[in-house]
A and B are shown apart, each in its own frame.
Chain A
Amino acid sequence: MRFTRTKAAVAAAGLALSLAACGGDDGGGEDVEVAQDAEFEAGTTMAEIAERGTMTIGTKFDQPGFGLLGLDDVPEGFDVEVAKIIAGAMGVAEEDIEWKETPSEVREQVIEDGDVDLVAATYTINEERAQRISFAGPYYVAGQQLMVAADNDTISGPEDLADNPDMKVCSVTGSTPSENIREYLANNNQLVLFDVYDKCADALGNGQVDVVTTDNVILLGFVSESDGEFKLVGEQFTEEPYGIGIEKGDTAFCEFINETLADNEDAYIEAWERTAGEVEGTETPELPEPAECA
């Protein structure tokens, strides 16, 4: 596969950059603002966190661009940077954050159990989840799309999938995209599920599967690394607002997060450009209008 080399080079460059950054100062890395004298109303989650001075944050460890565990064992990505902005506003520096892996299946659970202060993990806001936890944000709106091999002229949108039942569609176990796509399929055998999207991309390169589907930003990453082997087809057929998962009913914390993001739009944009936005073809998002905290 040709695109693997480019990707390795990109990864190596990224690592070299981050190493250089580490050499520059005391290991703080990027310049996320850390509030020195944050004060909060007593009894709020923010006051508690500011008092404690540390945070535990759930994110993905295997999602390139959003939350990917690096060789230095620290996750990198847009979700991670957004979480750092929020932590910084409560006076928690990034070295005081403990990152906890939260795969799709366990996100509600860790919030309910109080194992984490918040979850930023490509976490699509939906009704079902909102019954167990609360969402701040959204901080980003993704949309699901299809990726196929460049020479595939058969599939031009999700509507074509049912007419081509031999074509295999790849996504990740338990993810929202894997559920959204089902209604377009001829049968369940058409769907191939893996633990990470990297494998879907490999499988597409090998001809094991014919279509990979997930949120467009993730797909764009693969397209740009493929040296023209892959392409996106069709329009985005869903809207996936990513939210910050917090304990159910913590309205004050939810409002604080929304305000923090609104106050730090520059840091937000910079975070995007440094992570998911590095991928060719992505557009820098505007901070979406937050939903009401309930």
Chain B
Amino acid sequence: MSRDRTESVLYDLPGPRARRRALVGTVLGLLLIAAALALVAMRLADRGQLDAELWSPWIDPSDEQFGAVWGLVRQGATATLIAASLAIACSLVVGVLLGVARMMLGRVLRVPVVLFIELFRGLPVVITIVFVWRAMVELKVDLGFLPGEAALWYLVIGLTLYNSVIIAEILRAGVLSLPRGQGEAARAIGMTERQTMSSILLPQAFRVMLPALISQLIVILKDTSLAAVIGLGYLELLRRGNQISQVLDNPIQSLFMVGAMFIVINFALSRLATYVERRLSHSSGSASAAEAVVPAT
């Protein structure tokens, strides 16, 4: 990140007048933001949304519902993390297979792989999840051999279909971002295509990919909450928040807390991604090359 450099390059080193102007601007901006927040707070207070009884089950340990609320949150967060971990693990395996297949198969054999990738890359993930769920039910696919409830696996499979093709693309970009000499040298010393891929290109690509993978985990974490919207019946964090708000009738407060939890977890992960990226960029080329292919939305 070259933020500081860019920022300073956009304007001159401020002189006394410019500094004063910037200061005035800063203060005015702060006042404006404070005024907007105050207005929101006043409106919320008017509507009784800041009343203690709506918040205390969430924030007051002496409230009799506090324990139950946080117990449910813990279960919901666990369910969210389980779904997200399974989804990222499956996506990684399938994604690497897809990516390698796309790079190594011949022109004709590659076609179904490319079609698969384009298909699931082009579909909204919420549609994919609903499709997987309903199609498996309609075709009576039995997931009983897998641990955990079926709803978890519908979610995981749906998320995997989408995210594995993204990972395949990240992997391909990672390999392409390596210096050509790497592959050429490997072949020059007599390695086969497969050896070149598995012992020279992939290990380096993985290093380059790591930050992008962490970013993808954020995407997956966020997308687990789609289960609550489509009525899948998997009790993840957002659904638990809805459960709590239905009993206590405090949707604003519950959504605020659940949203804050997602933000905290994802923010920590995004910092981790940045940190890893910075560490890697000391040793190897362009870690952001892979990330640029697929913005983590």
Say yes or no: A198 contacts B54, CB within 8 Å.
no
Closest to A2 in B: B48
- Interface-side segment among B14-22, B111-119, B245-253: B245-253
Q: Is A4 an interface residue (CB 8 A)?
A: yes
Closest to B65 in A: A71
- Interface-side segment among A103-111, A140-148, A239-247: A103-111
CB-CB under 8 A from B69, the residues of chain A are 71
Q: B246's contact among A9, A15, A68, A103, by CB below 8 Å, is which?
A: A68
CB-CB under 8 A from A7, the residues of chain B are 249
Q: Is A159 an interface residue (CB 8 A)?
A: no
Say yes or no: B231 contacts A202, CB within 8 Å.
no
User: Contacts A72-B68, A109-B137: A103 and B244 contacting too (C-beta < 8 A)?
Assistant: no
Q: Is B178 an interface residue (CB 8 A)?
A: no
CB-CB under 8 A from A109, the residues of chain B are 137
Say yes or no: B54 contacts A71, CB within 8 Å.
no
Q: Is A69 an interface residue (CB 8 A)?
A: yes
Q: Is A62 an interface residue (CB 8 A)?
A: yes
Q: What does the 1/0 interface line of A90-125 toward B look like (CB < 8 Å)? A: 000000000001110110010001000000000000
Bound-state CA distance A169–B137 (Å) is: 31
Bound-state CA distance A68–B249 (Å) is: 12
Q: Is A78 an interface residue (CB 8 A)?
A: no
User: Contacts A2-B48, A101-B233, A173-B231: A8 and B248 contacting too (C-beta < 8 A)?
Assistant: yes
Q: Is A17 an interface residue (CB 8 A)?
A: no
Say yes or no: B231 contacts A105, CB within 8 Å.
yes
| A interface: dominant SS | mixed
Say yes or no: A8 contacts B249, CB within 8 Å.
yes
Bound-state CA distance A56–B68 (Å) is: 24
Say yes or no: B246 contacts A8, CB within 8 Å.
no
Say yes or no: B233 contacts A71, CB within 8 Å.
no
Bound-state CA distance A174–B48 (Å) is: 33
User: Contacts A11-B248, A11-B249, A68-B246: A5 and B72 contacting too (C-beta < 8 A)?
Assistant: no
Q: Is B229 an interface residue (CB 8 A)?
A: yes
Q: Which residues, 56 to 75 on B, are CB-close (under 8 Å) to A?
A: 64-65, 68-69, 71-72, 75
Q: What does the 1/0 interface line of A1-45 toward B look like (CB < 8 Å)? A: 110110111011001100100000000000000000000000000
CB-CB under 8 A from A9, the residues of chain B are 53
Q: Which residues, 235 to 268 on B, are CB-close (under 8 Å) to A?
A: 235, 242-251
Q: Is A139 an interface residue (CB 8 A)?
A: no
Q: Is B107 an interface residue (CB 8 A)?
A: no
CB-CB under 8 A from B68, the residues of chain A are 71-72
Kindly state the interface size class of chain A when it binds its partner.
Answer: 20 to 34
Q: Is B47 an interface residue (CB 8 A)?
A: yes
Q: Is B193 an interface residue (CB 8 A)?
A: no
Bound-state CA distance A69–B68 (Å) is: 12
Say yes or no: A73 contacts B48, CB within 8 Å.
no
Q: Is B51 an interface residue (CB 8 A)?
A: yes
Bound-state CA distance A109–B51 (Å) is: 43
Bound-state CA distance A69–B243 (Å) is: 7
Closest to A103 in B: B231
CB-CB under 8 A from B233, the residues of chain A are 61, 101-103, 106
CB-CB under 8 A from A11, the residues of chain B are 247-249
CB-CB under 8 A from A106, the residues of chain B are 137, 233
CB-CB under 8 A from B250, the residues of chain A are 4, 8
CB-CB under 8 A from A68, the residues of chain B are 246-247
Q: Is A280 an interface residue (CB 8 A)?
A: no
**Chain B's nearest CB lies how many Å from the CB of A189?**
20
CB-CB under 8 A from A73, the residues of chain B are 71-72, 75
Q: Is A196 an interface residue (CB 8 A)?
A: yes
Q: What does the 1/0 interface line of B216-231 toward A look like (CB < 8 Å)? A: 0000000000001101
Bound-state CA distance A124–B137 (Å) is: 22
Closest to A5 in B: B48
Q: Is A158 an interface residue (CB 8 A)?
A: no
Q: Is A285 an interface residue (CB 8 A)?
A: no
Q: Is A64 an interface residue (CB 8 A)?
A: yes
Q: Is A195 an interface residue (CB 8 A)?
A: yes
Closest to A102 in B: B233
Bound-state CA distance A70–B245 (Å) is: 10
Q: A64's contact among B72, B235, B246, by CB below 8 Å, is which?
A: B246
B interface list, Cβ under 8 A from A: 47-48, 51, 53-54, 64-65, 68-69, 71-72, 75, 137, 140, 228-229, 231, 233, 235, 242-251
Closest 3 CB pairs of A and B: A71-B68, A7-B249, A101-B233
- Apart from the given pairs A5-B54, A8-B250, A12-B65, 20 other A-B contacts in the complex at a CB distance below 8 Å: A1-B48, A4-B48, A4-B54, A4-B249, A5-B51, A5-B53, A8-B249, A9-B53, A61-B243, A62-B243, A68-B246, A69-B243, A71-B244, A73-B71, A102-B233, A103-B233, A105-B231, A174-B231, A196-B242, A196-B246
Sample 8 A-B pairs with CB under 8 A, ordered by A number: A11-B248, A15-B64, A16-B64, A69-B243, A73-B75, A101-B235, A195-B229, A198-B251
